[in-house]
């Protein structure tokens, strides 16, 4: 074999084997890090922002419920025109009689105030249910935040993985192309047969196909990255697993997840809302006590120019006796719904438990795969060097060399994939535990606080504008 060509092939192969580390080392101070990418997603992702808007909308249910404590005030006004012709049936005299006409403009205005004094604690329970709904929506926001951050970490690592794999595949094309050129040179001098050339040509075509597939996969990962993070990826720094947030045992992870996961807390608040709804429905069977006050001013009521002022205050007690069974049916329905919510809470706990165990298993598997892939690379490098030396003296064929190169390439791809899987599995585990949030990750962002908006609107009596001016 030509010594010049052999050394060139080795240089190309070395470049293919080390491309992933060159890629990582090229990231400078201006590179996008995994943390900065997640910070972008935290601030700009439409799913998070939509859920924040949903929380703000849920906040408004509290002042709506509190309106039951407050008076209802209505103003009225009316004006009309009447014409009356009256025939007394007697001749008209100075003392009266004959036909008389009346043209009046009756008009007036008034104010009525209705205040509920007791409604079977329905308003109190509505307020408590609204407050539980607000707390539940906040936990749903936390769940959405976790999902988006996990999607962001996954998209980031997918781009890193696919970029490195594409670089390996392109270098592999160069390696096999050089191998094909050497094989043709050896064929021309009679050292190998036409079969060796055909095998190298077939392997080159397959390598080009794999490179095209790797490029398509990278394009798809870039599109997902843009969707989640909000910008196109550029010069990504290596990602690191969340070892600082990962417990040492699966039991510790389960304890954290079952106590802290926002999805479980959201379901618990949903149970509270459902149980309060039972009390709200039952409150319709209780007596209702209220007071109404009104003031009215009337003009031209009986004759032109007259006016009258009236005012009244009335207390009213209403005792339900039978309303056709609607309240009883609604109460039974609310009880069944409460039972459904309890079962859903149990289901979410089971889902969290399964997610933690699954994520823990994937993390352990990724760690083992990294060690295995590194050992595979060492063995494949030794095997390739040996096959090349044996091929130099005619003890190995071109196909043997191509197979050894392919095994080394596969080992490198396996290592890259395992490294990506380890990072993603660590994020998945922390997500399954319920701790994948901006504060735990230490993201440099303005942390969103749903309590600010809640405090701004919970006691508002009047106003059409939202606190942000919309």
**Residue 155, phi then psi, degrees to nearest 5:** -65, -40
Q: Does residue 23 contact residue 164 with C-beta atoms inside 8 Å?
A: yes
Residues 6+ apart with CB under 8 A from 364: none
Q: Which of 216, 208, 169 is nearest to 412 (CA)?
A: 169
Residue positions counted in the chain:
470
pTM of the model: 0.84
Q: Which of 23, 20, 38 is nearest to 156 (CA)?
A: 38
pLDDT in tens, the chain (470 residues): 343 334 444 444 444 444 443 344 334 446 889 999 999 999 999 999 999 999 999 999 999 999 999 999 999 999 998 888 766 666 666 555 567 778 888 999 999 999 999 999 999 999 999 999 999 999 999 999 999 999 999 999 999 999 999 999 999 898 888 888 888 888 888 878 898 889 888 988 998 999 999 999 999 999 999 999 999 998 899 999 998 999 999 999 999 999 999 999 999 999 999 999 999 999 999 999 999 999 999 988 878 888 899 999 999 999 999 989 999 999 999 999 999 999 999 999 999 999 999 999 999 999 999 999 999 889 988 898 888 888 777 777 778 888 888 888 888 999 999 999 999 999 999 999 999 999 999 999 999 999 999 999 999 999 888 887 66
Residue the block writes with tokens 């060399």: 401
Give all domains of the chain, ordered by start, each with its CATH number. 3-72+121-288+324-457 (1.20.1600.10)
As a whole number of Å, the end-to-end CA separation of the chain is: 77
Q: Which of 262, 267, 270 is nearest to 145 (CA)?
A: 262
CA geometry: angle 175, 176, 182, nearest 5 deg: 95
Phi-psi group of 462: left, alpha or beta (phi > 0 → left; psi -120 to 50 → alpha; rest → beta): beta
Residue the block writes with tokens 């060159």: 22
């Amino acid at each position: 074999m030509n010594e010049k060509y052999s050394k060139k092939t080795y240089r190309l192969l070395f470049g293919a084997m080390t491309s992933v580390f060159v890629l990582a080392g090229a990231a400078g101070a201006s590179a996008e890090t995994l943390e900065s990418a997640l910070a972008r997603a935290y601030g700009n992702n439409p799913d998070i922002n939509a859920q924040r808007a949903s929380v703000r909308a849920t906040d408004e249910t509290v002042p709506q419920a509190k309106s039951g404590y407050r008076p209802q005030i209505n103003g009225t006004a009316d004006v009309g025109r009447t014409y009356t012709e009256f025939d007394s049936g007697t001749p008209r005299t100075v003392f009266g009689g004959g036909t008389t006409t009346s043209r009046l403009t009756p008009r007036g205005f008034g104010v009525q105030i209705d205040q509920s004094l007791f409604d079977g604690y329905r308003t109190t329970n509505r307020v408590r249910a609204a407050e539980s709904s607000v707390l539940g929506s906040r936990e749903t926001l936390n769940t959405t935040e976790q999902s988006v951050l996990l999607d962001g970490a996954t998209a980031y690592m997918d781009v890193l993985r696919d970029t490195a794999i594409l670089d390996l595949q392109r270098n592999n094309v160069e390696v096999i192309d050089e191998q094909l050129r050497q094989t043709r040179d050896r064929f021309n001098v009679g050292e190998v047969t036409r079969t060796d050339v055909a095998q190298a040509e077939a392997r080159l075509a397959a390598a080009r196909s794999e490179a095209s597939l790797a490029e398509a996969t990278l394009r798809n990962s870039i599109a997902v990255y843009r969707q989640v993070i909000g910008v196109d990826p550029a010069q990504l720094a290596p990602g690191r697993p969340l070892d600082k947030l990962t417990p040492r045992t699966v039991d510790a992870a389960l304890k954290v997840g079952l106590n802290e996961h926002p999805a479980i807390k959201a379901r618990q608040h949903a149970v509270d809302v459902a149980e309060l709804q039972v009390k709200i429905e039952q409150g319709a069977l209780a007596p209702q006590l209220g007071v109404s006050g009104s003031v009215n001013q009337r003009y031209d009521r009986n004759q032109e120019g007259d006016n009258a002022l009236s005012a009244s205050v009335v207390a009213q007690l209403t005792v339900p006796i039978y309303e056709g069974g609607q309240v009883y049916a609604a109460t039974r329905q609310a009880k069944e719904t409460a039972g459904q919510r309890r079962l859903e809470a149990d289901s979410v706990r089971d889902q969290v438990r399964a997610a933690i165990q699954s994520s823990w298993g994937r993390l352990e598997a990724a760690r083992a795969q990294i060690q295995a892939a590194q050992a595979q690379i060492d063995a494949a490098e030794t095997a390739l060097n040996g096959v090349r030396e044996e091929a130099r003296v005619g003890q190995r064929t071109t196909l043997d060399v191509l197979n050894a190169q392919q095994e080394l390439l596969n080992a490198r791809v396996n290592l890259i994939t395992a490294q990506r899987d380890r990072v993603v599995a660590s994020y998945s585990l922390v997500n399954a535990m319920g701790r994948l949030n901006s504060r735990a990750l230490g993201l440099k962002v303005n942390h969103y606080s749903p309590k600010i908006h809640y405090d701004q609107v919970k006691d508002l009596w009047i106003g059409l504008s939202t606190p942000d001016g919309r």
